[in-house]
Structure 1
Amino acid sequence: MGSRAIGQRAGHRRRATGALVTAACIVGLSGVTAAPAVADEGNTPLQSGECKFGTNDIKATPWSLQRLLTNQMWASGKGEGIKVGVIDTGIDKGNSQIRPAIQGAGKSFVTKGKATATVDTVGHGTKVAGIIAAQPHPSTSGFYGLAPGAKVVAYQTTSDQQAGTPDSLAKAIKAAVSDGVDIINISQGTDASPSQLSTLRDAIHTADKANVLIVASAGNDGANGGEKDIYPAAFSNDFPNVLAVAASDRNNERAPFSQRGSFVGIAAPGVAMVSTVPGGGNCVDQGTSFASPYAAGAAALLMAKHLSDKPKWTPAQVISHLEQTADRVRKGRDDNIGWGVVNPVAALNDDTRPTGPPTADKPTNASGASAVEPVAVTLGETAEDRQGRIAIYIVGGGLLAVAAVVGSSIAIRDWRRKNGLTTHGEAQHG
C-alpha cells in the first residue's frame, strides 16, 4: 500500500486520471474486478512537489537508513544468494541503482497495452524494489537498499492502464514460487471478504508449502484508527509464512495512515521514504508499501546469513526472529506496530534459531516492575564523603595532639635544664 506516483517517465504525456496510475498503491482487489485505487494522503513532496521520473539523485541519507550501522548489518554479507519476487507495477531497468539487482526479464500479467515487467510506467514497483536492493551509487552516497547483494525479480500485475485483481495477484505468486524465489514482497491489498479470495488463499498456501516467505503491506486506511483486515497481509492470521508490515514514523510509533489490526506482525519505516524511480534518480514517498520492502530487505539479509544452516530456516522462524529482535515501545505486541519496529542489525547480531513464536518482554520481579533502579543523584557531599572527611579530621587531630604533647615535654625539659631544676624540682649542684 504505497503512495501516489506523481509523475510519469520523461517524454510520456501526463495522464488525466490518477485512478489507474495509483492502482498499485492500494490495488482494489475486490472480488473479481479491481476498483480504482485511492492514493496515499500526505505524499511527501520533493523539491518542486512533483516526483519526476528520470530525476536527480538524492544525496542525503534518509532517516530510515541513518539508524542503521551498515558495518554491522553487512558484516556477514549483503543478501547474496537470496532472490526476492516483487509483485507490483514492474521494476524499471532504466534506473542504474536498481538495474544490477534485476534478475531476468520477469513476468507481466497485465493484458492491456504493451506491458513489460522491466518497464515501470507507474513507478511504484521501482520504488519498492529500490528499498530492497538498490546499489550504493557514487552520485547518491546516502540512499541504498537494505540488501544490495540480493536479486529482485519483477512480477507485473498493475500498470497505468490496468489495475490488479486477486486472480492476477494469485497467478504472480504461483509464478514466483515456480521460479524459486525465497521471498515475495506484496505492496498491495484489498479489504474484500475472504470468501471472494479463494484463488489468492490457494496461492498463499502454495507459497507456504514451498517455504517461501511473503512480506505484505498492512494498508493505508488507518487514519480513523479503526481496525480492518487487508489481504493478503491479513492472511498472516492463517498462514505461518506471511508477515504483515505496518508503517512506523521516526518515533517508532504507527504512522497516522497505517492500518491497524490483529494481523499486523511488525512495523518498519514508512514515512518520507527515499527510493529509486523509473529512468533514474530518487524521489520521496510514503506508505506501508515502502515499509514492507524495508522488512523484506531485513529478511533477505537474515536468510542469506543462515543460508547454509541445516536445516534451513523456515519462513515462520525468520518472521519470529525479526519480531523478537524488533525495537519495542511496549513489552509485547499491539495492533498498531505488531511486535515493534524491525531492527536489521539486532536481528543479524543474534544467531539464535527461534523455536516458537515471539514472546513479550518479561518483568524481572514479582511486582511487575523492573529491578533496575536509577542511581540517586546527590548534590554536594555524600554520606560516604562526610564519613571520610570526619575520619581524616580525627586522625589528623590525634596526630596534632600527640605532636603538641611531645613538643611541650621537650620544651619543659629544656627550660628546667636551663634554670637548674631537676625533673623533680630539686636544685642541681655543679
Structure 2
Amino acid sequence: MTAPARPLRGALALALTAALAAPAGTARADGGQCTFPAGHIEEQPWSLQRVLLDRLWQDTRGEGVRVAVIDTGVDTANPQLTPAVDAASGADFTPEDPEDDPPARSRGDGTDDTVGHGTKVAGIIAARPHPDSGFVGLAPEATIIPIRQNDEYGSGTVASLARSVHHAIEQDAHVINISQDSDEPLSDDSALKKAVDAALAEEIVVIASVGNDGVDGRSKDTYPASYDGVLAVAASDRNNERAPFSQAGDFVGIAAPGVDMVSTVPGGGQCVDHGTSFSAPYVAGVAALLRAKHPDRTAREITAQLQQTAERSITGPDRYIGWGVVDPVRALTDDATPLPSPTPDQGAPAVPAPDVPDLVLGETYAQRAERLGTYALLTGAVLTFGLAGAALVQRDRRRRRHRKTG
C-alpha cells in the first residue's frame, strides 16, 4: 500500500490561490489583475536598481550554466524566455490520474504554464533583455530546464517533487530552484530527502524558498528548504529587512528581494508579484553567475560565497534573513578565495576606555525647580512684608499731619 500523497504548499500558495480565484489565463499580481499575455513594464525594477549590472556581468552572464526550475512549467512563448529555455530537457510530472503519484514518466516538456508562477521564477533567473522593458534576468545567458510538477489545481506532491529533482540531475543541472514547499515533517528516509541528497552529491546547488507563512514571526521548518545543504531563501523588502510574510526559522540561510517583483508571464510581457517564491530565483540567478565564473567550486563553496558576501546589520546569521540579503556584485567580485562555510564578521576592535576624572553631577532638573520655587516663595514673602511695613509708615505719617493741622 502506497503512502498518501503529501501536497505542496507555502511558497506556491499565493500564486495557486490567485489562479483559482481568477478566470483561466489570468493570475493575481500586486496591484490588480495580470492577464496573459501582459504589457511591458518600461521601468527598471527596484530589485535590479540595487545592482550595478555592468559590474555584475563584467566576467560572465551565466553562459553554459543549466538551472532547473521545478514549478508550474515555464512558458516559451514569452520572447524573453524563448532562447533561454531548453524544452528538450524539460518534463511534466503533473499526474493525469491522482493515483499515479509520481507519474512513471513525463507526459510533456514542461513548457505549459497555466498559472504563470514558474514563468515568473524562470524570468528572474535568465530572462533575456527586451527593448521595451527595463526587466532582465540576473543571469541572462543561463539555460533553463523547465520541470512542471504543479498546476492551478495544486496537483504537486512531495513524491512528484522528488521525481522532478531526479530528472534535474539526469539533465545535468548545475543549479536547482524549488519555489514551493511542504510544512509537514518529513523523515530522513523520505523520497524527497534522498533526491536532494543525490543532487548535493553531484555538486548541484539546491535553492529553495522558505515559504510565506511567517506573518506571526514564529519559527517553523519547511521542506525541502530546511534540509541540510539546501540554501533556504527568505524574502526581503526595499529596506533589506524581512518581508512580513517570509517564514522565520533557524534553517533560513539567506534573503533576497521578494516584494513588488517584476518578471515574465506566459505569452509575453511582465507583471508584478511578491513572495519568497521570487526571492529564491533571485539567489539562483547569482548562483548561476558564480557557477559560470568558478566551475570547479563545490556546491557548498558557492553557497558559502553567497552567504559570506551578503549584506547584514549584525555579525552573524539570524532566523529571519539568515546571513543577510544577497549582494550580487560583491558575491561576484569579492570571490578570490573559496570558502567552506560562512563565518561571522569580526566586530569592531575594542577601544580602551579613556582615563577621565570622576564626573561631579550638578543638581537635577527637579532639584533646580525646587530651589527656584523656594527663592520665589521667600522673595514673595519679603515683598509682602515690605509692602505691609510701607503701608504702616504711610498711615502714621498721615495721622501726624492730621494732628498738627487740627
TM-score range, shorter chain: 0.7 to 0.9
1:98 maps to which residue?
Answer: 81
Deviation at 1:353, TM superposition (A): 2.8
Deviation at 1:366, TM superposition (A): 2.9
Asked if the contact 2:252/2:322 (under 8 Å) is kept, the reply is yes
1:213 and 2:205 aligned? yes
Asked if the contact 2:95/2:155 (under 8 Å) is kept, the reply is no
Amino acid at match of 2:174: D
2:271 maps to which residue?
Answer: 283
1:226 maps to which residue?
Answer: 218
2:398 maps to which residue?
Answer: none
Asked if the contact 1:6/1:51 (under 8 Å) is kept, the reply is no
Asked if the contact 2:16/2:153 (under 8 Å) is kept, the reply is no
1:329 maps to which residue?
Answer: 313
1:270 and 2:258 aligned? yes
1:128 maps to which residue?
Answer: 121
Deviation at 1:178, TM superposition (A): 1.0
Report Cα offsets for 1:380-408 as digits up to 9, x if no partner: xxxxxxxxxxxxxxxxxxxxxxxxxxxxx
Deviation at 1:368, TM superposition (A): 10
Single out whichever of 318-327 and 108-117 deviates more from structure 2. 108-117
1:138 maps to which residue?
Answer: 131
Query: Residues 364, 161 of structure 1: CA spacing in aligned structure 2 closer, same or farther, 3 A cutoff?
Result: closer
**Ranges in structure 2 where 5+ consecutive residues have no aligned partner:** 1-10, 98-106, 354-406
Deviation at 1:66, TM superposition (A): 0.3
**Equivalences for residues 148-227 of structure 1 within 5 A:** 148-195=140-187, 198-227=190-219
Deviation at 1:93, TM superposition (A): 0.9
CA–CA separation in structure 2 for the residues paired with 1:131 and 1:210: 25
Asked if the contact 2:91/2:108 (under 8 Å) is kept, the reply is no
Task: Identify which of 87, 111, 118 aligns with 2:111.
Answer: 118
1:87 maps to which residue?
Answer: 70
1:107 maps to which residue?
Answer: 91
Query: Residues 324, 368 of structure 1: CA spacing in aligned structure 2 closer, same or farther, 3 A cutoff?
Result: farther
Please give the secondary structure, in 2, of the residue aligned with 1:137. coil
Task: Identify which of 33, 44, 58 aligns with 2:30.
Answer: 44
CA–CA separation in structure 1 for the residues paired with 2:220 and 2:338: 29
**Ranges in structure 1 where 5+ consecutive residues have no aligned partner:** 23-38, 370-430
Please give the secondary structure, in 2, of the residue aligned with 1:152. strand
CA–CA separation in structure 2 for the residues paired with 1:327 and 1:103: 34
Amino acid at match of 1:44: D
Asked if the contact 2:70/2:176 (under 8 Å) is kept, the reply is yes
Asked if the contact 1:258/1:287 (under 8 Å) is kept, the reply is yes
Asked if the contact 1:73/1:348 (under 8 Å) is kept, the reply is yes
Report Cα offsets for 1:186-238 as digits up to 9, x if no partner: 00001111239700001011101111110000110000000000100000xx2
Amino acid at match of 1:300: A
CA–CA separation in structure 2 for the residues paired with 1:164 and 1:293: 19
1:147 and 2:158 aligned? no
Asked if the contact 1:166/1:197 (under 8 Å) is kept, the reply is no
Deviation at 1:329, TM superposition (A): 1.7
CA–CA separation in structure 2 for the residues paired with 1:210 and 1:73: 27
Task: Identify which of 2, 15, 18 aligns with 1:4.
Answer: 15
CA–CA separation in structure 1 for the residues paired with 2:352 and 2:257: 31
CA–CA separation in structure 2 for the residues paired with 1:6 and 1:65: 28
Query: Residues 331, 103 of structure 1: CA spacing in aligned structure 2 closer, same or farther, 3 A cutoff?
Result: same
Single out whichever of 252-261 and 328-337 deviates more from structure 2. 328-337
Task: Identify which of 25, 37, 40 aligns with 1:54.
Answer: 37
Please give the secondary structure, in 2, of the residue aligned with 1:245. strand
1:345 and 2:338 aligned? no
1:72 maps to which residue?
Answer: 55
1:304 and 2:288 aligned? no
Report Cα offsets for 1:284-313 as digits up to 9, x if no partner: 000000000000000001111112xxxx10
Asked if the contact 2:64/2:292 (under 8 Å) is kept, the reply is yes
CA–CA separation in structure 2 for the residues paired with 1:195 and 1:361: 34
CA–CA separation in structure 2 for the residues paired with 1:367 and 1:199: 54
CA–CA separation in structure 2 for the residues paired with 1:301 and 1:368: 44
Amino acid at match of 2:268: G
Query: Residues 223, 6 of structure 1: CA spacing in aligned structure 2 closer, same or farther, 3 A cutoff?
Result: closer
Query: Residues 134, 15 of structure 1: CA spacing in aligned structure 2 closer, same or farther, 3 A cutoff?
Result: closer
Report Cα offsets for 1:110-133 as digits up to 9, x if no partner: 122986511111100000000000
CA–CA separation in structure 2 for the residues paired with 1:315 and 1:67: 26
Please give the secondary structure, in 1, of the residue aligned with 2:173. coil
| TM-score between both structures, scaled by the size of structure 2 | 0.77
CA–CA separation in structure 1 for the residues paired with 2:301 and 2:147: 26
Indicate the percent of aligned positions where both proteins have the same amino acid: 50
CA–CA separation in structure 2 for the residues paired with 1:95 and 1:7: 21
Please give the secondary structure, in 1, of the residue aligned with 2:249. coil
Deviation at 1:356, TM superposition (A): 2.6
CA–CA separation in structure 2 for the residues paired with 1:267 and 1:354: 21
CA–CA separation in structure 1 for the residues paired with 2:146 and 2:198: 19
CA–CA separation in structure 2 for the residues paired with 1:6 and 1:281: 22
| RMSD (Å), alpha carbons | 2.2
2:400 maps to which residue?
Answer: none
CA–CA separation in structure 2 for the residues paired with 1:200 and 1:257: 25
